Amino acid sequence: MTFLWPQFLWLLTALPLLVLLYLWLIRRKKKLAVRYASLSLVREAMGPGQTLRRHIPPFLFLLAVAAMLVAAARPMAVVVLPSNQQTIILAMDVSGSMRAADVLPNRLVAAQEAAKSFIKDLPRSVKVGIVAFAGSAQVAQLPTTNHDDLVTAIDSFQLQRATATGNAIVVSLATLFPDAGLDIEQFSAPSRQRGMPIDQTEKKLKNFTPVAPGSFTSAAIIMLTDGQRTTGVDPLDAAKAAADRGVRIYTVGVGTVDGETIGFEGWSMRVRLDEDTLKAIANKTQAEYFYAGTANDLKKVYETLSSRLTVEKKATEVSALFALGAAVLTLLSAGLSLLWFNRIL
């Protein structure tokens, strides 16, 4: 725990003075008790239980004062709070290699089931969009809170050739920022060769001003893929565009890291999970990379992402909690004193 105004903590050193004042008042009352005919009769009337009771209200009041002084120092604590995440884009690989059965029953089915479970566990207030990508990328479902529509979009995936991870990022960004003028041509290599670099092009488009990576907390992208990019936009260029907009891209790699040969519609292809690029995308956007070698691993990854995106830990001022505690202790102290002794302290 940290404090915004730690200098107020010095006031806690005054608490021993209050204890000394209380002890002095107790001694003073004992001297006054000599006026009674028999001090022993007074002690007998009070009893040990009554003697203990008389100290409880002052002790509670002392705790209340301590809590108020701590509140005055404005304490800060790291607490778990609901995230203000409003939109999540699931960019899912539907290339031919997703039919591989190294992740049972196969990579695509495992990814579909994990994604549907992920959506089911999300709060209804969070919008989810679906982007499917292979040789190109398309919006399978615009961001919505209707879970049935999302499940239908996921179940309708059709396998295609090639893998364009960069295109998936661009289409996801265009879905999140429909008025930003983002398109695939803007990020393509020929377009950059004819004109200026992509970062300069972005700045000219609608006076775009980059923000700090990871600073846009209202949306995030989760990209799942089992292969390396074979066509389309350079994924690191696309990741830079996401980072410049503060959008985090959580990448999930599923399948074989070393690579294997997959047959698809008469074609034979060698697929390899490009972990280096997926890690670079996540790092560039201040997010994380996850590897899922089995269907169970993939489900755990989505469970982890669900907890990361729906709650967040942040340093929060908790002065109000200490002030509330002080108020409760004060009322309790006064209430017990009235109940037991018909007076306040």
Distance CA 290, CA 138 (A): 24
Please name the helix (run of DSSP H) or strand (run of DSSP E) that holds residue 58, with its range, or none. helix 56-72
Nearest C-alpha neighbor of 60 from the set 18, 13, 1, 14:
18
Please name the helix (run of DSSP H) or strand (run of DSSP E) that holds residue 79, with its range, or none. strand 75-82
* pLDDT in single tens digits along all 345 residues of the chain: 888 888 888 888 888 888 888 888 878 776 666 555 555 555 555 555 566 778 888 889 899 999 999 999 998 887 655 555 589 999 999 998 888 887 888 889 999 999 999 999 888 888 999 999 999 999 999 999 999 999 999 999 999 888 999 999 999 999 999 988 887 777 765 544 444 455 555 555 556 789 999 999 889 999 999 878 889 999 999 999 999 999 999 999 987 776 566 665 566 666 678 899 999 999 999 999 999 988 888 989 988 888 777 655 667 888 999 999 999 999 998 888 888 877 776
Sheet holding 219-225, edge to edge: 137-144, 127-133, 87-93, 219-225, 248-254, 289-292
CA distances in angstroms from 183 to 165, 242, 281, listed in the order given: 14, 13, 19
**Domains of the chain by range and CATH?**
2-77+317-341 (no CATH), 85-293 (3.40.50.410)
